[in-house]
Amino acid sequence: MHEGQLLLFLVQLLVVLGLARSLGEVFRRRGQPPLVGEILAGLLLGASVLGNLAPESFATLFPDDPVQLALFDATAQLGILFLLLVIGLEVDVASAWQLRRQSLAIAITGVVVPLALGTSAAWLMFDAWAEVPATRPAFSLLVGAAVSITAITVVARLLLDLRIAKSDLGLLLLSAMAINDLLGWAVLAMVLSLSGTDPGTGSAMVSIVAVVVFTAIAATFGRALVTRWLRALDERGYPSPAAPLSIVVCLGLACGVLTAGLGIHPVFGFLVAGLMAGDHHALSEHTRSVITQMVESVFVPLYFAGICLHVDFIEQFEPGLVLAITALSVVGKYVGAWLGTLLSRVPALDRVPIAIAHVPGGSMGVLLAAVAREQEVIGPKMFVAIVFASIASSIVVGPGLAWALGRRETGTVADFLTTDGIVASLDATDRFSAIDQLSVRAARLADLREDHVRDAVREREETMDTGVGMQIAVPHARFEGLSRPTIVFARHQKGLDWNAIDDQPVHFVFLILTPASDTGVQLEILSAIARGLDADQARARILHEYDDQQIFTAVRDALREGATRD
């Protein structure tokens, strides 16, 4: 590599990353996934637009030089690897296991139904859809996997934006979708194994067994070992997030090397590495956020823009194929997840939101399409169809989920708070002692046993931290026989460490008890709290009021404002 090639490589990075990040931010501010803007940047700079309008400029910026192509491709490939690492960090094995009756049913039907539909359609249409000499089983399974995989990152971001990520519905959704992602990528690993072997050999079966065994070991013994390792680093005072960040990245590299040696694509190794390091008791929300921001701000935009540079989306766009893949993806995942909610007896109000949340293919669908194209399982037309379906499904899920959740709001949240539920000055030293103190007050107001309330709220807190950011924590639990919700509010002047999303100390604690049979009211309360205390003035007023009555009035006004605000 000579100096001129290095200079051009830097120019490519500057242009692609700059435009991808700019357009991604534009779409993010409009409530859409940044992925849309990043792919649009690739279309504008690549063969689709620049290559057709100004072919000489395109050839100058992205010359057909093996060294130049390898430089950019190697850098962009880090995007897919590290994105899968971040996805793995979202997989909470403990939560998924605790909710296994519901999350497993939703995840399995959410994968099996679209997988069966997509595989059957691709099998029947193999002669018309196959553009490369892949085997019918590999091609069909790949299309099935592409229309069945769900983007947990898109939904996690939507849950945060809607302020319900820490609710019971949010926990169930993230648990089910985490299992969904693992199943989808396991299918992909098996498909790639099939595509590289002869049907008569046993090497494909060996790779499939390797996927299952490796994932099982990583999710149990591996996760426990890495959790212990990360905790030891924290206890010994190693710098954070530098030390855990280095450990997680090295773990991803090691698992990528291992899976590659087993004949499985390295992306699956990075996904499993994230799974092993994802215990929220070992990796703080702040450290998790640093890793995510590093990946999403640099590597991911380069990757998604880069995969579109050398594909002419205009020339390869086939309307009938795009429509078929989009319909299979959206309808299959919606119906599959909805059937799962029926089998697991999820409350009726939650069925439509859960089904809608499983629709987006997002970055996961695009990643899967890129890996399959790289491995020559699909051709450019199918690649374009899967990318379009992934983007389209991600765009519609935000408005759809907001509509489904908005049907349940009644605006009565403030009525659940009374002056007896106000603790003006909480003297707890940590979040669990705060929960213990507030459980006494909540049990008396709700006419429940103190130990039952304390144990239930502690168990829910250990399953998923309830620090939602903005100096607010919302520990909660649901109880059989409770006639109406109970809210206890406490103010802590110094602030408590609650492992919050924004790493800020918590000054405002809402302990919330709701009837087990009414899941909608919990979402209503959490949303009203987040919206009502979103303004700095509202939080400042509550923090500086003097007595219980003044605090009650300030909190009640904020809840009323939050319950009625769109």
Active site residues: 476
Whether 180 contacts 156, CB under 8 Å: no
Q: Using the 8-state DSSP alphabet, how is residue 419 labeled?
A: G
Angle 66-89/152-161 helices, nearest 10 degrees? Answer: 60
CA dist 549 and 61 (Å) reads 67
Between helix 348-357 and helix 319-343 the angle, nearest 10°, is 150
Burial of residue 294, with CB atoms counted within 10 A of its CB: 0-12 exposed, 13-18 middle, 19 or more buried: middle
Dihedral sign from CA coordinates of 300, 301, 306, 308: positive
Burial class (CB in 10 A: 0-12, 13-18, 19+), 412: middle
Whether 560 contacts 554, CB under 8 Å: no
C-alpha span between 363 and 296 (Å, rounded)? 11
DSSP class of 504: P
Scanning the structure block, which residue is given the tokens 């193999």?
Answer: 126
C-alpha distances in angstroms, 438 versus 123, 132, 511? 59, 64, 7
DSSP state of 153: H
CA distances from 432 to 398, 447, 458, 509, 543 (A): 34, 21, 7, 12, 21
Q: Are 492 and 506 in contact (CB under 8 A)?
A: yes
Q: What is the rounded CA–CA span in Å between residue 279 and residue 290?
A: 16
First to last CA, the chain: 56
Side chain identity at residue 241, one-letter code: P
Phi, psi of 123 (to 5 degrees): -65, -45
